[in-house]
Amino acid sequence: MRTFLLRNLAGWVALVALAWGPVGAPPARAQGGATVAAARAPRAYTRSGHLMGSHFTFTAVSADDSLAWRALRAGMRETQRIDHLFSYWDSTSQVVKINRMAGVRPVVVDQEVYDLIARTLKISALTGGAFDATFASGDKIYTFDRQAHPALPDSATVRRSVARIGWEKVRMDPATHAVYLPEKGMRLNLAGVLQGYGVRRAQALMKQMGIAGGLINGSGDVYCWGKQADGSGWRIAIGDPARPRTVSSWLTVSDMAVVTAGNYEQYFTVNGTYYGHIINPHTGYPATGLRSVTIICPDVELADALDDAVFVLGPQAGLALVNRLKGVDCTLITDDGQTLVSRGMQLNSYHSAAPAAAKP
C-alpha cells in the first residue's frame, strides 16, 4: 500500500490518498530477457516536486512508461508556468504588476490571468465575500505561533486591518483585459485558488497526452481521474484533526476533486480559546467554529476556493451554501469534534459515530 499524506497552505492537513499496487516498478522479464505479457498491464508512475511553495505529487497510470514519464514532466512544467504567471512573490508575475500599480493605473494582463481573476470575483459574489482574493490588502496583526497570547488585538486595530480588503472594488475591463486596484495598498493574492487551478491545468494536459488515469496532489488539493492500475477507484481518506495523521473517514472517487483546509497547524490561543489562521475578511478576526473543511466536486479550482469560504461562513451557513450548489458536497469537522456532511455526501466512517446529516 502506498500512502500520500497531503499538505496545504496551512501546513500538514489530514487528508490521505490510499493507492494500492506497484509504483514505477520495472517490468517483469521472462527467461532469455523477453518481457512477459503482464508487463504491458497499466502501472502507476509517480513524481514529486516543490512547486508553488508546496509539495506536489503527480501520479500517472499507463501501460507505456515513456508516455507516463513525459506526461509527468509536462504536468510539472505546466504548474511551474502557472506559478510564474500568477505568483504573489515573483517580482515578474502579472499579479505583482497589478499590485504595484494599485491606486495608480490599470494593468493589461494576459487573457488567462484576466479570466482567473474574473472567476475569483464570481466566487466572491457567490460566497458573499467569504472568499476574497484581496485578502492580502489586510494588515498582518496576528502571529500564529501555537503559543498562548494574553489577548486579541483591540477592536480598532482589527477594523483598520481589513479596511482595504474588498473584492467588489476590483475593476475589470473585458475589452482591454485590464485589471485595476483603485486604492493604494490594495493587493491581489490568488493563493486561495491558484493550487487548484494549477492541478486542473496539469491534469487536463496529462489527460490530453493520453493518461487515462491518475492523481495529482497539489499541497492538499487533490484531483483524481480514471482508475488505479488494478482497475479500482481512488480511495481518499479524511484525517482527524484531534489525532494528527490519523483517519476519521474515507470515500472512493474518480474524476473528482477532494480539497481540504484545516486551521489546526497555524494557530494561537487566548484564555484557552483556539484561534486558527483563516481570517474572516469582513471582520478581521480568525474564523471560528470549524477545524476542518473538505470539499468534493468535479472542479478542483472551485473546490480550492470553497474550502476557505465555508471555513469563514462557519458550520451552518457553510453547509447551507454547499447544499445550494449542484454537484458539490462537503464534510466538516467542528471545533467540538462533530462531523457534519452535506445532503449528497456519503462517507465511510472509521469511527463508531456516524456523520451528522446536514439540515436543509
Let me know: does 305 contact 121? Beta carbons within 8 Å. Answer: no
CB–CB of 343/314 below 8 Å? no
DSSP 275-340: EES-B-TTTSSBP-SEEEEEEEES-HHHHHHHHHHHHHH-HHHHHHHHHHSTT-EEEEEETTS-EE
Q: What is the pLDDT of residues 101-112, one digit of tens each?
A: 999 999 999 999
Residue 282's pLDDT is what? 95
31 domain residue, yes or no: no
Number of domains in the chain: 1
Q: How does strand 107-108 pair with strand 54-62?
A: unpaired
pLDDT of amino acid 351:
55
- CATH at residue 71: 3.10.520.10
Distance CA 243, CA 332 (A): 16
- 108: its cell numbers: 493589461
Q: Are 198 and 83 in contact (CB under 8 A)?
A: yes
Please give the mean pLDDT across all residues of the chain: 87
For 309-319, write each residue's pLDDT tens digit.
Answer: 999 999 999 99
Which amino acid, one-letter code, is at 56? F
Q: What does the pLDDT look like over 170-221, one tens digit per residue?
A: 999 999 999 999 999 999 999 999 999 999 999 999 999 999 999 999 988 9
C-alpha cell at 157: 486595530
CB 290 within 8 A of CB 338: no
Q: Is 48:56 a contact under the CB 8 Å cutoff?
A: yes
Number of other CB atoms surrounding residue 156 within 10 Å: 8
pLDDT at site 29: 44
Q: Is 175 inside any structural domain?
A: yes
Are the CB atoms for 58 and 76 separated by under 8 Å?
A: yes
Radius of gyration from C-alpha coordinates of the chain: 21
Average pLDDT (3-16) is 34
Q: φ, ψ for residue 137 (rounded to 5)?
A: -70, -15
User: Angle at which helices 300-313 and 191-208 pack, to 10 degrees?
Assistant: 160
pLDDT at position 241 is 79
pLDDT tens digits for range 234-274 = 998 887 777 777 788 889 999 999 999 988 778 899 998 88
Phi, psi angle pair for 348, to nearest 5°: -100, 110
pLDDT at 39: 60
What's the domain range around 331?
Answer: 1-23+40-360
Number of residues that this document lists for the chain: 360
CB atoms under 10 Å from CB of 12, counted, come to 16
Instruction: Give domain status of residue 288, yes or no.
Output: yes
pLDDT computed for residue 33 by the predictor = 46
What are the cell numbers at 315? 458550520
Q: Would you say residue 352 lies in a domain?
A: yes
What is the Cα–Cα distance from 68 to 43, expressed in whole angstroms?
A: 9
Is 304 flagged in the annotation as binding?
Answer: yes
pLDDT at 272: 85
308 is an annotated ligand-binding site residue: no
Q: SS3 for 39?
A: helix
> The whole model's pTM is what?
0.85
User: Pick the residue with more confidence: 339 or 354?
Assistant: 339
Are 336 and 244 in contact by the 8 Å Cβ rule? The answer is no
In a domain, 33, yes or no: no
For residue 271, being part of any structural domain is answered with yes
The residue with cell 486596484 is 181
- Find the mean pLDDT for residues 69-94: 96
Model pLDDT for residues 119-175, shown as the tens digit of each residue: 999 999 999 999 999 999 999 999 999 999 999 999 999 999 999 999 999 999 999
DSSP letter, residue 41: S
Whole-angstrom distance, CA of residue 38 vs CA of residue 134: 53
In a domain, 34, yes or no: no
Position 322 scores a pLDDT of: 98
Q: Does 28 fall in a domain?
A: no
